[in-house]
Amino acid sequence: MISSLKVKNKDNHKQLPSNRKQRTLFIILISIIFLVIVILGGVLIDEGRIVTNLNDRNAPPSLDHLFGTDWLGRDMFTRTVMGLSLSMGVGLIGAIGSASIALFLGMAAATMGKMADRLISWLIDLFLSVPHLVTLILIAFTLGGGFKGIVIGLTLTHWPSLARVIRAEVMQVRSAEYVQVSQKMGKSQWWIALHHILPHIAPQLLIGFMLLFPHVILHEAAVTFLGLGLSPHEPAIGIILSESMKYLSSGMWWLAFFPGLCLLIIVRTFDQIGENIRMLIDPNRAQD
C-alpha cells in the first residue's frame, strides 16, 4: 500500500512539469492571439468611425459606442484600437533596433579584447546611470520629435540592460571546451561567434526582446503624451491621453480611462509572454 502511494506520488511529481509546460504554452498562445487581433483590428477597422460627427459628440459609453465619443463625435473604441496598433508598430521598430545594438555591443565586448570590453562596459554604465525616459526626451527633442525622433530615441536608449546580459552569456560560452577546440583548429572569431555563440544566446536575446517591448511602448506613449513624439494628427495612445486631459474636469472620464486601461493590458500581455517564454527556456525556473 505504501509502495503504491509512493509510486503515485512520483508519477504526480513527474507530471507537474508537463502540466506547467502545457499551461505556459496555452497562456503564450492566448496572449499572441489577443495581440494579433488588436493589430489586425487597427489595420482593418473602419476609419469612417473616427470622422467628425458633431451630432454624437461627448456621448458616454453605450452599445453603439463602447468607449463613448470625444468632443468631435469620434468613436473612442476605434481611436483606441488604431492607437494601440500604431504604438505597437512604433514599439516593434524601436525594440528591434535596441535588441540589435545590444547584440552587437554585447558580443563585441566579449570577443574583441579587453580594450573593447572596457569601452563598451563604460558606455553601458553611462546609459544606465541616466533614466531611459530622460535620455529619450532629450534625443526626441534634439531631433524635433515626430516619427523619426521617437524611433531613434527608443532605439538608442533601451539596449544597455540587454547588452550587459548578452555580454555575460558570451563570456560564459567563450570558455566552453568546444569553443576552445574551434580556436585551436584555426577558426576565426566571427566563425565562432556565428556558429557557437549566437545559437547559445538566441534564447536570451528573444526573452530580452519580449521584456523590452512593453517598456518601449510605455515610453513611446509617455513622450508622445508630452508632445515630443508622434504627430498630433496620428491616433496614438499618448496623443489620445494628452487630448483627454482638457475634458476630464467636465466629467468625460471615458476619454482617458479606456485608452489608458487598454495600454496597460497590452503592456502586461507582452510582459506575460516574455515571462512565460523565460520559464520554457530556462530549466531552473521551469521547475520552481
Query: What is residue 18's predicted lDDT score, i.e. its pLDDT?
Result: 67
Average pLDDT of the residues in 158-166: 89
Among 187-196, 212-221, 261-270, the least confident range: 187-196
**What is the overall mean pLDDT for the chain?**
81
Q: What is the pLDDT of residues 70-108, one digit of tens each?
A: 888 888 888 888 888 888 888 889 889 999 999 998 888
Query: What is residue 282's predicted lDDT score, i.e. its pLDDT?
Result: 65
Q: What is the pLDDT of residues 99-149, one digit of tens each?
A: 999 999 888 887 777 888 889 889 988 888 888 888 888 888 888 878 888
Give the ranges where the chain is alpha helix by DSSP (H): 2-44, 76-111, 114-128, 132-142, 146-157, 160-174, 177-184, 189-192, 198-225, 237-244, 254-281, 283-286
The topology (CATH level 3) of 93-288 is MetI-like fold (1.10.3720)
pLDDT at 7 over 70: no
Is the CB of residue 271 less than 8 Å from the CB of residue 211? Answer: yes
Query: What is residue 98's predicted lDDT score, i.e. its pLDDT?
Result: 92
Among 5-14, 29-38, 118-127, 212-221, the least confident range: 5-14
Give the C-alpha separation, 211 to 274, whole Å.
5
Residue length of the chain: 288
Q: What is the pLDDT of residues 207-217, one digit of tens each?
A: 888 888 888 88
Average pLDDT of the residues in 255-268: 89
Give the C-alpha separation, 178 to 193, whole Å.
12
Tell me the whole-structure pTM to 2 decimals.
0.79
A 10 A CB-CB count for 111 gives 18
Query: What is residue 22's predicted lDDT score, i.e. its pLDDT?
Result: 78
Give the C-alpha separation, 102 to 117, whole Å.
13
Residue 69 three-state SS: strand
Average pLDDT of the residues in 9-34: 67
